[in-house]
Structure formats: structure tokens, C-alpha cells
Amino acid sequence: MTTLDHMVAVLRAAAPADADEDTLTEIAVETFPHCSAEQIASAVSKVVARPAPSFPNAPRGYATAAEVHNAEVGKIVRSIVAPIAMSGGTTTQMMVLTESVLVGVALACIRLGGDELVLDQVFAGAKARLAEIRLKDLQVEGRA
């Protein structure tokens, strides 16, 4: 049996911070097909009602989690990629290290039983962001 607190935690972890009620409901229905409409509505309402995250110790000038994350991600990526590249390592070695980091973070953050749900959402988000970044400046030729 899935508890309301568990549903709320999974939705908060799986959904984008700016997800609206309809998006949260879609994610909840997919994630918890065995739950009633009332249970899903209750979990979604708790997630929608969450206060905006505050970051009292955030570096000056950053108001949101996304701003802090975007500012820090370059340092994190360089710390993973640079040592391997400087030692003549391969892209495969970089990806294996990235996998190890992901597993470590997952073990620290995701409760037992939530791995598949959360990782599916993480990778769906990563794929979407990667496509957006890579295709943003793509010039389409021809006519439809």
C-alpha cells in the first residue's frame, strides 16, 4: 500500500519544480496506477501547495534552485571530465565515472523502492534538456 507521504515524496522528486497540477496528475497516474483518484488528488494538492524553495545560504544574486544549479554544474562537470581527459582517458571512462556518481547520489537520495520511478523521470528530463540544447540552433531547410 502506498502512503500519501510516499506519493508526495516521489512526485516532488520526479516532477519539475514548475510542474502544474495537470502535469503532476499525469505523473501520479502513471506512477501510481493502483491508487484511487482521491489519493492522487490528495498527493497532487500537497505538492502544488508546497512553498517556493528558499535558499538562505545561496550565493548572492541567486534566487532559485535552478540558478544555483546552473551556476555550479560547470564546476561539477569539469571535475569529472578534466582529470580523465588530461590523463588521456576515453569518453567511455568519463561516462562510467558519471554512472558511478549517479549511483552514489541515488543511494544518498532515493528511498529503497523508488529507484526506477525517480531515475526514469531524471533520464526523461535529461533527454529533453539535451535535445533542447542540441537542437536549439539547428537550421531547418526545405518546406513542409
List the one residue out of 42, 50, 4 whose CA is nearest residue 25.
42
What's the per-residue H, E or C state across 52-71? CCCCCCCCCCCCCHHHHHHH
- For residue 89, the SS3 value is coil
CA 53 to chain centre: 15
pTM of the model: 0.52
Instruction: For residue range 42-99, list pLDDT tens digits in order.
Output: 888 888 876 555 566 666 556 677 777 777 888 888 888 899 999 999 999 999 999 9
CA 48 to chain centre: 17
Q: What percent of the chain has pLDDT over 90?
A: 17
Q: What percent of the chain has pLDDT over 70?
A: 86
Average pLDDT score over the chain: 82
What is the residue whose three cell numbers read 492522487? Answer: 40
